[in-house]
Amino acid sequence: MVGINEIIRPKIKEIPYNHLGVTAINSANKLTHKCTWICHNNTKYCKANHVKFLKSHFYITDKLYFGVINLLGSTGNYGLANIVFLVVLIPISIWYFLSQSLNMYIKIKKIKNK
């Protein structure tokens, strides 16, 4: 993912978004044809301009989306919690349970072949 982002970076024409000394790849411009940091900072704008298929399901997705944001914010350090849970713990958990599932599948297959 990092490699793809860095390949795309030179093709982006807008001025990059800068927050607390960190420069992002995307801008914060309000663009109707693609998501930018304005979507992160203003969910209503994103929902109005970019969401196509989930409009009839906002009553479900909003609870999940804002619930996760509020949960991460309640830790006292939203940025760190975001990285720990969404970038590290959840992907590692998915990898672990997938590998356990494959191991069980292999064991079941061996037992069936005996």
pLDDT in tens, 6-51: 888 888 888 888 888 888 888 888 888 888 889 888 999 999 999 9
pLDDT value, residue 95: 97
Burial of 68 (0-12, 13-18, 19+ CB in 10 A): middle
- In the chain, % helix, strand, coil (3-state, to 5) comes to 70, 5, 30
Phi-psi region of 21 (alpha: psi -120 to 50; beta: other; left: phi over 0): left
CA distance 99 to 95: 6
Tell me the percentage of the chain whose pLDDT exceeds 70.
100
Number of other residues whose CB lies within 10 A of the CB of residue 38: 18
Q: Is the pLDDT of residue 1 over 80?
A: no
pTM of the model: 0.68
Q: Which residues contact residue 90 at a Cβ distance below 8 angstroms, ignoring those fewer than 6 apart? A: none
